[in-house]
Structures are given as structure tokens and as C-alpha cells.
Structure 1
Amino acid sequence: MQPLPLLSYFAQQAQAKLPADVWHYLQSDAGSGLQLQVNELGWQSKKLLPRPLRALQQANTRCELFSEQWAHPLLLAPVAYQRLFHADGEIGSAVACNAQQGQMMVSSLASQPISEIVTQAQQPLWFQLYWQGDRERTAALLQKALAAGVSAVVFTVDAPVKQALIDLPDGISAVNLAQPLSMRPVHMGQSQVFDGWMTQAPTWEDVAWLRQQVPIPLLLKGLMHVDDAKRAVEYGCDGVVISNHGGRVLDSTPSVAAVLPAVVAAVGSQCKVLVDSGIRSGQDVFKALAMGADAVCIGRPYIWGLAAEGAMGVAKVIRTLRDELEMTMALTGVSNLSELRQVGLFE
């Protein structure tokens, strides 16, 4: 019998080890389950042409963003409550990230203190910021992250008010928050969404305010529309992360692969463009970079590794994706990421 690909093996191991409700929380999306397939098929539908006999000159996967240099363009996307999946938690993921010479975005809903995560990582990490209902609470969380020494802030805007979608067990919580964000009560005849939920959601005016509070690179995460990417640049953002939140917020969106080229054409010369959602192989990474992304974020796959083997599992997932990226580059005759962006993909 053929052995499973390593990521599929880790997914199976994670499902076997995690309680059913935790596995469902990790894998769930916003609706029918089809959005996960749309995200993955978006990358898989792009085709590659092999280019044999090409001499590779000093081949490497080195990536540089905002004066940071990494061995590869694979970032760990922000995932909340990582101690749900393994006792190593976010610290385990951060240590693995450092060992694999990469970068990690730490979630606002991390289950371990941001200062400890950065310390154990032995490198500055990026911080993913959720709006905390108002500017005062958001500023307090931001200042905690800045004091911990983070090197970039990634403001996630596609989940206007983020709360746990699972009953958290005792001992696991969003420890970096002063207190959990609670919904404002609504009165008879009012809308839970419009009069409750959305009254605590950020706006473009809040992005302008946030830009003034953040002295390091600021990226907006969760954009899918070209006009929103253009506006992010106008408001002084240093980068955008094209994402549909892994399908967890709004069902029936296009795949990131479908919208990435237009966003790159619109703002790629003015800011950095990153992507996530549906990346499941080094070939997917290659395709995203060839379509103009500056780096790629992975989410569920590294959590599979964390659940299966802790920090070591995360390191193996990163290394596997990098190996697959290198193999794809070798078979298409590409020496580095600059050359990779010039590769044409077949639909």
C-alpha cells in the first residue's frame, strides 16, 4: 500500500488524537463545507509546465519582506487557541517556525502570553490584531504586542467581531485580552446583526486611526476586492493579505487564486501582497508566488502537525511544504523567487 503524503498523514493523526468537537472546530467553514473545496481547487486548477535541462544558478527559496530575511516564503497564519490542539500551543509553533527559519503570525486569541511566545521563539514575530470593539481596548492589546517586540501587525478585518465558536475547556482562553469581548444587548425590534454585532465592527476610519498607532509595518488581512486593496494602500498600509479566512466567515466567495492576479495588478507595485486559504502543498505555494504573491500563509496544515506531534510536527509540515516548493522549482527550471514570479501558469 502506498504511504499517505505527509500532510494527509498528519491530518489523519490529528483527527484521531483530537476530541470530535475540537476537530470539527478546526475543520469547519462558514456554511456547506463547499468553500474549503473551492479554496483548494482554486490552486489545483492552475497547471504547470515542466522545463527540463535548465541550469539552476545558486538555487534557493530565500524571501525578504520588510527587511526581514527568511529561508522560505511560508508564514504560519494566525490560528486561535493552539493549546486546544496540543499542550505545546503557540510556543511550540513559534519554536518550530524559528527552527525552520520562517515567520509566524500570532493570533489575538492566542492561548499563551504573547511575550512568552516571542521570547521562546527567539525572534520577533508578527501579531495578528482583531478589533476589540472600540479604540481604547484595541490600543491596549496593540501596546501589549508592541511591548513584546513584534515586528509587524496584521489587522484582520474580514471577521468584524471574533469570538470562540467552541466551548473552551478550563485552562484555555485568550490570555492576552483584558476581558472577552461581549456583544451589546439589543432591544425588542432591533437587529442582532446591525444593532448589536456591527456596532462593534471596525471601519476605514479605524484603519486610518490604527495606522497612526502602529510604528512598524501594518498589513490588512481578509481582503478579496480590488477596490479594498487599493484603499488599504491609500490609507498607508504596507501590505495586504488576500484571504477569505479559510472559508470560515462567508460562504460562496471566490477562491483566493481567482482574485489574486487582479489584486497584484492593482497594488503589487505599491505594497506587499500575501495570500492564505486553501494552501495544501508546495505546488500550491509555487502557484501563488507565480501569480504575484510575495509570500504565502498556511493555517490548518501546520495545526495538523501540531496536534499530531507538537512542535516537531509543525517543523515537519513547514519542511515538507518547502521541500515540495523546491522540487517544483527544480522541475520548472526556476532558481529563486524572483524568477518564479515570471513563470506563466496554464489555466
Structure 2
Amino acid sequence: MSAPFADAPPGLAGVRNAARAVTDPAVWDFVEGGSGAETTLAANRAALDGLALLPRVLTGRTGADPSGRLLGTDAAMPVAVAPMAYQSLLHPEGEQAVARAARAAGVPFVLSTLSSRPVEAVVATGADVWFQLYWLRERTRTDELVARAEDSGCRALMVTVDVPAMGRRWRDVRNGFSLPPHVRAANLEPGSDERAHRSTPGVSALADHTRSLFGVPTLRDLERLRRRTSLPLVVKGVLDARDARRAAECGADAVVVSNHGGRQFDGAPPSIAQLPSVAEAVAGLCAVLLDSGIRTGTDVLRALALGASGVLIGRPVLWGLAAHGEEGVAEVLCVLRDEVREALLLTGCADLADAAELRVRRWAADA
């Protein structure tokens, strides 16, 4: 496979540049934007950049293995593709292209409830698909989504719990952002996404749509879901260690420490800042994953050193999809895996278990 970003700047910055050059400005704002003043969006990256890893030396290491296991299945690196809505906005093949690239890279792909491709078609790519569940107002519709995920062959269920309402994303409001006719919510009832297609100046049609569609899950709902499904259950959108503990006690197999990529409550702390307390609270009860702001292999090691067993990567995957479709996503995941391997080697780690023993120092405000 030729490298589509061979002439771009190093790392994923070049992918971002290539994607922005070919993406409609309103769609780009939808992908890149956060809520409010985008304070939390910026803080995610700043917090990661403010963490230094102490390399080990005198180990004699000449190679490193980034492979491991996520939710009991093999993964080529401790990374899964995060759930992201309406990927056909960026490329005609949308989620199916991303799933094929994830399969080739040996990592799980998390399919959003608001996917523009039906779950059955995405699972048919052969990828290790986890289904992300938004809690719907109508319980029967939620149950139907769970059944579809199970029947189609999804290998895990990830319920997102941090969207009682969509955060106010001013870029979408200013753009009056709505879905074009060819992009549909493929996993929902036909016509149920009508609001998402209504273009109104000064209104985010997607926020209007989710406001009419989403419910607010409770602990009782989570307990019921745990009884309802035999799939591994992941709870995404946890920042407070007390909530993580409650989710684990309800039977969650993993929690995702996440502020929704800075797209929900603007003023929430960076996800990486909350990771140690969550990992401590659920130690021995469930696994911990991290998302929001992951961009490099060093970020992956930062998360492992602070208690995560893996991370979810979001926007960079969409950059690759926008720029070069499946091949672009494959290149993003290839770059990330190479960076994880190199970061392991340069910190004296042979594998992910060694990475979990690395020590972290803050070198920013409190250096």
C-alpha cells in the first residue's frame, strides 16, 4: 500500500491538513468543534502535553510489542476506533471503510448508534465491531437496538451516559448545520431523523434531533441492560470516580474515562486528569479505557502509565477517512501503531505490561 500522506508533515498533523483541504467547512466544524468556548476541548490536549514519562534504561531492549487484549480479544495495539456519528459526511463509504481499515489494522471499531451505515453491513466487513448505544426515550427502541447489535454479531456493547442533551456547539449553531439528504441515521426507524435534515439559520439541526430522541439513563437502566445482554458491557462518559465505581458495581466490564472529546460540558476536566482516580476506584472490578485528545503513540503510553488498559481514538480517524477513504484510515492506524511501538522501545518497555509500570511527571504549570 502506498502511503497517501508521504509528502505531508510528520505524524498525524499532515493527515489533518490533507483532510481540511478537501472537507466542506461546515462539516469540518462539526468534526473539529467542541461545546461552549471549547475550553475543555483545548484542555484535553494541553493536559496530555503536560505529562512526561520517565524512560527506563539499561534494559537491553532492542524491540517492543504493542499488541495486547481489549475486552478479552486480541488487538494489535491498545487502541479502538471511537464511536463517531455520520461518517458518510466525510466519505461515501463511511463507517464501512473505517471498519475495513480497523480490521486490517487489528483493532476494534466502535459503531455509533448514529451511524450512517446499518450495523449489519458494518459487521459484514469482518471487523471486530462494538456497538455504541445512545439511550433512547422509548425503551422498546433501545431494546431493539441492543437486539440488532447482538443478532448482527457485535462483540461488545458500549453505552454512552454523558449526553442528557447535546452540548451547545457554537460552530454548528453559527453554520445552521444539518445533515445533507444522502446521510441518514441508518440504525434508527426510517423518518426518525427528519429533524436532523431541517436547515434553519442559527440552529443546530443535530442538536434538535437528539433533543427529541435521547433519554437519560439511570443506574436502574444500567442494571437492566446488564441483565438484558450477555455481551461485554462498557460504560462511556465517566469522569467522577464515584460514578465509575457505581457502573462497575452494576456489572460493567469496562468504563471509558471521557469528556466526549470536549463536545459536552465545557468546563469538565481533561479526561487524562481524571484517569488515575477512576482507575483506583475500579481496580479489580473492571477495565478502564480513555478517550478525548489522543493523537500520538506517546499519548497511548501516558494513558497506560496512569491506569488505562487502552484508549479510543476519534478525530484522526475521520481525518484519514476524509482525505483518502479506507486507505487514509489505514495509514492513520499504521502511523499510530508505529508510534506506540517506538514509544515503548524508547522508554525501555518490551510490552504493554512494562508501560503500565512507567512513572509519570507533570512538567507544565506545577513543574
TM-score by length of 1: 0.91
Post-superposition offset of 1:88: 2.1
Paired residues of 1:283 and 1:324 also in contact (CA < 8 A): yes
Letter of the 1:93 partner, please give it: V
1:146 aligns with 2:150: yes
Paired residues of 1:160 and 1:198 also in contact (CA < 8 A): no
Paired residues of 1:11 and 1:301 also in contact (CA < 8 A): yes
Paired residues of 1:130 and 1:162 also in contact (CA < 8 A): no
- Specify which of 182, 197, 202 is matched with residue 171 of structure 1: 182
**Aligned residue for 1:5?**
10
**Aligned residue for 1:337?**
352
- Specify which of 24, 29, 32 is matched with residue 27 of structure 1: 32
**Aligned residue for 2:92?**
87
Paired residues of 1:124 and 1:149 also in contact (CA < 8 A): no
- Specify which of 67, 82, 107 is matched with residue 102 of structure 1: 107
Q: Matched residue of 1:297: which SS?
A: strand
For residues 296-315 of structure 1, what are the structure 2 equivalents within 5 Å? 296-315=311-330
Measure, in 2, the Cα distance between the counterparts of 1:294 and 1:170: 40
- Deviations 1:49-76 (Å, cap 9, x if unpaired)? 3334422286311111332111111110
1:254 aligns with 2:265: no
Paired residues of 1:51 and 1:332 also in contact (CA < 8 A): yes
Q: How many residues align?
A: 334
For residues 44-59 of structure 1, what are the structure 2 equivalents within 5 Å? 44-56=49-61, 59=64
Q: Matched residue of 2:360: which SS?
A: coil
- Specify which of 131, 136, 153 is matched with residue 132 of structure 1: 136
Change (3 A) 1:223 1:182: farther
Q: Matched residue of 2:124: which SS?
A: helix
- Deviations 1:126-145 (Å, cap 9, x if unpaired)? 00000111311100111111
1:245 aligns with 2:260: yes
Paired residues of 2:62 and 2:345 also in contact (CA < 8 A): no
- Deviations 1:22-70 (Å, cap 9, x if unpaired)? 0000011111122221001111111123334422286311111332111
Post-superposition offset of 1:210: 1.0
Change (3 A) 1:27 1:212: same
Q: Matched residue of 1:133: which SS?
A: coil
Deviates more, 1:208-217 or 1:91-100: 208-217
Paired residues of 1:221 and 1:241 also in contact (CA < 8 A): yes
Structure 1 unaligned residues grouped into runs of 5+: 184-192
For residues 286-301 of structure 1, what are the structure 2 equivalents within 5 Å? 286-301=301-316
Post-superposition offset of 1:198: 11
Measure, in 2, the Cα distance between the counterparts of 1:240 and 1:223: 7
Structure 2 unaligned residues grouped into runs of 5+: 1-6, 196-207, 363-367
**Aligned residue for 2:48?**
43
- Deviations 1:97-143 (Å, cap 9, x if unpaired)? 011111110000110111111111x1441000001113111001111
**Aligned residue for 1:69?**
74
Identity across aligned pairs (percent)? 38
